[in-house]
Amino acid sequence: MGRPRMTNLLFGVAFVIVGAWVWFETRGFPTLRDGHPGPALFPGLLAIALAACGVALALHAVVQPVRLAAEFRSFALPGYGLLRILLVVALGLLYPLFHRQVGFIPTSAALIFGVALLLRAKWWLAAIVTVVSTWGIYLAFTRLLGVPL
């Protein structure tokens, strides 16, 4: 990412939060009949270990505060890159959300065309590849492999 300390700090904090959430979640899990730990044991231990790693990552990041401060000052969210990612994720979720209403072909075509355009393909070339590949995938899976798309 180019700003390793800042990235490590963000990931470290995120892992501490996730670890804490998992640990609190496991408090509601039942124990074995004889009182020994049951389903909570492993996720609980993992939560503690993950949070500890998060702390270690964050500490490693703040060990050199001058460098971290410099990275922090120049830190900016990767605006368009992030937007592109969210767009692809939204296109990917079209099929699970709308497959009943519109089916495989339009949702898959939207994703393939969208990804190609976001990767700077020429629109007409992207359109041709989208039509051919969508139909190709559809026929291969429905006719040859018997998957009801």
Partner 1 sequence: MNELFSWQGLLALIGGGLYGAIFGSVPGLTATLAVALFIPIAFFLDPVLALPAIIAITAVAIYAGDVGSVVAKIPGTPASAAYVEDLYEIARRHGAKYGLGISAMGSMVGGLIGTVLLIFAATTLATVAKNFSSFEYFWIAILGLTAGIFASSGSSLKALVSLLIGVLFSTVGIDPTLGYARFDFGSPNMLGGFNFIVAMIGLFGFSEVLQNVFLRSKVETRSVPATKGSKALAFFWQPIQLMLRNKLLVVRSSLIGTFVGFLPGAGADIGAWVASSLQKLAGRRGAQDEESDDRVVLAGTSSNNAAVASAWIPALSLGLPGDTTTAIVLGVFLMKGITPGPMLFEHQPGLVMALFGAFLVANVVLLPIFGFLTAYIAAYVVRIPVNLLLGVISGICIVGAYAINNNPFDVAVMVLMGLFAFLLRMGDFPLAQVVLGMVLGPILEQSFMVSAIKSRWNLMAFFDRPIAIGLMLATVLLVIVGLRIKARAASAIDMAAEAADHQERT
Q: Of 17, 25, 75, 103, which one interacts with partner 1 (CB under 8 A)?
A: 25
CA dihedral 52, 55, 57, 60 (to 10 degrees): -130
Tell whether residue 55 is a contact of partner 1 (CB under 8 A). Answer: no
Q: Which is nearer to partner 1, 11 or 70 (CB)?
A: 11
**Tokens 């963000």, residue?**
10
For the chain, how are helix, strand and coil distributed in percent, rounded to 5? 75, 0, 25
Nearest approach in angstroms of CB 108 to partner 1 is 5
Subset of residues 70 to 129 that bind partner 1, contact rule: CB under 8 A: 78, 81-82, 84-85, 88-89, 92-93, 95-97, 99, 104, 107-108, 111-116, 118-121, 125-126, 129
- Total residues at interface with partner 1 (CB under 8 A): 66
Q: How far is the CB of 20 from partner 1 (least distance, A)?
A: 13
Q: What is the SS3 assignment for the chain?
A: CCCHHHHHHHHHHHHHHHHHHHHHHHCCCCCCCCCCCCCCHHHHHHHHHHHHHHHHHHHHHHCCHHHHHHHHHCCCCCHHHHHHHHHHHHHHCHHHHHHHHHCHHHHHHHHHHHHHHHCCCCHHHHHHHHHHHHHHHHHHHHHHCCCCC
State the nearest-atom distance from the C-beta of 143 to partner 1, in Å.
12
Query: Would you count residue 59 as binding partner 1 (CB under 8 A)?
Result: no
Residues that bind partner 1 (CB under 8 A): 1, 4, 7-8, 11, 15, 22, 25-26, 29-30, 32, 36, 38-39, 41-43, 46-47, 49-50, 53-54, 56-57, 60, 78, 81-82, 84-85, 88-89, 92-93, 95-97, 99, 104, 107-108, 111-116, 118-121, 125-126, 129-130, 133-134, 137, 141, 145-149
